[in-house]
Amino acid sequence: MTNHIKQLNSLSQYKMQLTDLLDLCIKSGASLGFKTDVDKQQLTTYWEEINTQLQNRMFLGYFINNTLVGCVHYTRCQKQNGLHRAEIEKLLVHPQYQRLGIASALMHSIEREATKQSIELLVLDTQTGDKSEYFYQKIKYTKSGEIPHFVSDNNGVFFGTSYYFKILLPTSQINKTPCDVASLIT
């Protein structure tokens, strides 16, 4: 079994795998911007739109034996005063392959790629109380707050959204001195 992470510069050949992956994650309870009754065509359209925006994104796929089982991407801020930051979007791992370290590997890889692009701040959001909150805290993301009543499910039940960030080491400090990024925050 061969496992590898690959940067995807086009999603065209992976569109159906990404659609199925997103659909499975949504149906397993992940809050990913869609309700569980979403039509697969809407998910395919989502990936087609993302594919047209890859010039402002870093997109990584996790493959096992050439099958896409996970992905993550970020969108770099386009504001002149925000070029140092990016927003993590759609960290997905096929339910059958969860809890095997794939999400951690994807996040560590995207953080390395961000640092190479002089991105020093990553931000993300997730449903408050979801298992993903524990995951992000475990990989050293800091919760900055939450907004209640932010998203709803198929039954009209509302949930809050929590916001997280991580300050990355500037490229100039990588491999020079081991330190905890939290110590850089003053």
pLDDT tens-digit readout, 125-163: 999 999 999 999 999 999 999 999 999 988 889 999 999
What are the angstrom distances between the C-alpha of 102 and each of 36, 60, 136, 166? 24, 12, 13, 19
For residue 38, the SS3 value is: coil
Q: Domain limits at 170?
A: 3-184
Residue 53's Cβ-count burial label (10 Å; 0-12, 13-18, 19+) is exposed
Q: What is the pLDDT of residue 30?
A: 87
- pLDDT of 156 reads 87
In this prediction, residues 37-50 reach a mean pLDDT of: 95
Tell if the pTM clears 0.95, that is, is over it.
no
Residue with tokens 């994650």: 25
User: Domain with 13 in it: what CATH number?
Assistant: 3.40.630.30
pLDDT over 70 (residue 185):
no
Residue 18: predicted pLDDT? 97
Whether pLDDT at 180 is above 80: no
The domain total for the chain is 1
Band (pLDDT 50/70/90 cuts) for residue 2 is: confident
pLDDT band for position 78 (50/70/90)? very high
Q: In whole angstroms, what is the distance from residue 96 CA to residue 157 CA?
A: 27
Q: Give the Cα separation of 117 and 144 in Å (integer).
A: 24
